[in-house]
Copies of this chain bind each other. A is one copy, B any other.
């Protein structure tokens, strides 16, 4: 029996066992392993975590800086705790390879829930998960699922491809908007409508909040059904054969600071959950999520292998050299790298 106190990848399965028994320290340890810059450790942690079930409900929270994401997270945790549900939070910051998620994490950990054992809060950054943050985040969700957290809140910042891959790990995506950022209509035009299942208009106490609320409601009503996020996710073939109704994003007026609007928001989440639980969608979504998880994990593995093989001394060094001497061109090198990857 390995000593689980050793911070090594060799005993990830033991940590997984402890995690399933509800050991919070094991949860924290496994997420740390997933983020490890040491390939062997992160790979082993990811393999162990993949035996765990994803959480029953993952709610993605995103929005522009200044929208009050932290305050809303805080409020949401309180609301779910009042319902007696345990809550995990994964806050992911893909925007900087330098800071990782440290700033985000510090900010959140200062909240009021740090002494509540029904709450687990963790931030993740890009430190050890370069190119594979979505893979690491999806494994972390399984760790929280395995530990029995009933609701997991997945916060991300940014609007890039990495952020979009991460937020799409959630069942329900909640986009926060606030009055006064000045680019509300612009954001609508830019496709935000397609990215949310639920809109929160935060800072409801502000005089122009109601106006923004109405604007978003109008935009949602005017939008054609194909903006439905889950249909986009499930692809054109599914969407064109699906005869059920399209989800229309809910718009909810909230003041996270003054703790108003919460019940409406939980209600919106429940409605969306019920929509996803319709058998036809539910089955397709389950396969779609698995396919995406397999994609993330497989890509990360292939990318890591290429890192090693293309580094000086790696088995593709001669391909690089041949190309550097100008004897063959880049197209040949790519074909050669693929040929050797697929016959290894």
Contact = CB atoms under 8 A, between A and B. Distances in A.
Interface of A: 47-48, 50-51, 94-99, 126, 130-131, 133, 142, 158-164, 190-192, 194, 235, 237-238, 283, 286-287, 290-295, 297-299, 301-303, 306-307, 310-312, 316, 319-321, 323-324, 329-331, 333-334, 337-338, 341-344
B47 A331 contact: yes
| Most chain B C-beta atoms within 10 Å of own C-beta, residue among A235, A290, A303 | A290
A127 B295 CA distance: 20
A210 B314 CA distance: 47
A47 to B, nearest CB: 5
Contacts of A316: 291, 294
Q: Count this chain's copies in the assembly.
A: 2
A306 B310 contact: no
Given A95-B159, A311-B235, A341 B298 contact: yes
A323 B263 CA distance: 36
Contacts of A194: 98
Nearest to A139: B330
A238 B290 contact: no
A96 B160 contact: yes
Contacts of A295: 306-307, 310
B161 A51 contact: no
A46 to B, nearest CB: 8
Nearest to A298: B337
A186 to B, nearest CB: 10
Nearest to A96: B159
Contacts of A160: 94-97, 126, 158, 160, 162-163
Contacts of A96: 159-160, 190
Given A190-B99, A341-B342, A321 B287 contact: yes
A290 B190 contact: no
User: Which 10 interchain pairs have the tightest Cβ spacing?
Assistant: A98-B191, A50-B330, A50-B331, A298-B337, A291-B310, A297-B334, A47-B331, A98-B190, A287-B324, A294-B333
B294 A330 contact: yes
**Max chain B C-beta neighbours (<10 A), residue from A126, A283, A297:** A297
Nearest to A292: B310
Contacts of A319: 294
Contacts of A320: 287, 290-291, 294
